[in-house]
Amino acid sequence: MKILDYNIKKILDSRSNWTIELELYNEKNIGVKSSVPSGKSTGKNEVFNLDPDQAILKAKYIFSKIKNKDFKSQQEFDHFLISLDKTVNKSYLGGNTILAFSYCFAKLNAYFKHIELYDYFNNLVNLKNLKIKPKMPYLFVNVINGGLHAGNNLKFQEYLIIPKTNDILKAINLARILYLELGKELKKIKGNNAINIGDEGGYAPNFKNDFEPFEIISKILKKLNLDKEFYFGLDAAANSINLSNDKLEKFYLKLIKKINLIYLEDPFAEEDFEQFKKLKLKLKNVYICGDDLTTTNINSFKKADSENSINSVIIKPNQIGTISETIEAIQFAKQKNWWIIVSHRSGETNDDLIADLAYGVAANGFKLGAPARGERVAKYNRLLEIANQ
Ligand code: 2PG
Ligand code: MG
């Protein structure tokens, strides 16, 4: 497939920061569009993103190098971009610029092949010894925001509810029922301001302590007779928390006695592979997940594997900058039998590509924010569209 033309412009993301939106056209003048998100609690090994004005200049350069070239595969295209950049963290062309091209190439190539984007990802992820069929993930729904994503007193970043079904219509319905009831309850017990929301659409009032959000949620679920329908998860994002490992661990152990917590993301600081391992050995029934620890980077995945630190991993394409490297990381994780959680970023756009990724690679989970706000709902609605086909 040959690239014939491009167009790039600045658009707003969900935090009112500028980001980039790229259009790419092939030789048949078919065009696709992609935009890139951005994180706030970022891992130190993530790719480097350029300021959007600079990214636009670099896009012009990239286009001059790819124009009329015939690319046979996603890998060939992505590796060409990586070879143009030449840096370890994609700082010359910008992780964001490269990702926008990689996303567009995937959409264009799927279109060119007359297949759905999720099937395109499914073809990429399958290997001789790895046969995966597309499958709906469990939804990891953020209903209360804290940490860097909110202006409240919660230390921990994301209080997650996980409907126990991957029937997507049922899962979304359970999520929205809880979300709406939680809003009413918070307003009742904490006043009108309690339903102000954080970056990912979760409510963000002050709480008595860091357990209270789950206590309130559990109470509501009991009242609705839905307490058997959900698991719970927490993205601690501990890198941004000023607490000793001892205190963090005590909190997690106490929390597990109170609720059915099956998922714990970034429980310790981003380089503490050893501490992750200790907790994983202690908590046999909890998925201990790396995010800032592993940054969708296969080298960090290998380190986490050799140190026995995790049994679950977050996948965010914009941590690493290309589809091909994202797929490589997923393949590694699948071969280790880790739980794979495809995830949005806290600063999002309406691009719904990651929904196709989550379904196409049969991710175990999909972390996609609250079932409210356009940039989050775009991903929920894409899953509904896929389910309806
Ligand atoms: C996380 C993410 C997304 P950010 O820590 O998992 O929820 O936050 O995009 O700010 O890194
Ligand atoms: Mg995280």
| Residues in the chain where the model's pLDDT stays below 70 | none
Q: Which atom of ligand 1 is nearest to the CA of 158?
A: 7
Cβ–ligand 1 distance for 291 under 6 Å, the answer yes
N residues, the chain:
389
Q: Whose CA is nearest to atom 4 of ligand 1?
A: 39
Is any ligand 1 atom within 6 A of the Cβ of residue 239?
A: no
Q: Which residues are catalytic?
A: 200, 316
Give Cα 230 distance to the centre of its chain: 20
**276 Cα to the center of ligand 2, angstroms:** 14
Segment 66-106, tens digit of pLDDT: 999 999 999 999 999 999 999 999 999 999 999 999 999 99
pLDDT score recorded for residue 127: 86
Q: Check pocket membership of 312 for ligand 1, CB cut-off 6 A.
A: no
Kindly give the interhelix angle for 74-85 and 52-66, rounded to the nearest 10 degrees.
Answer: 120
- Domains observed in the chain: 3-114 (3.30.390.10), 128-387 (3.20.20.120)
pLDDT of amino acid 379: 98
For residue 227, what pLDDT is reported? Answer: 96
pLDDT reported for residue 50: 98
298, two tokens: 């296969």
pLDDT in the model for residue 130: 83
The pLDDT tens digits for 210-231 are 999 999 999 999 999 999 999 9
Q: Is residue 41 in contact with ligand 1, taking CB distance under 6 Å?
A: yes
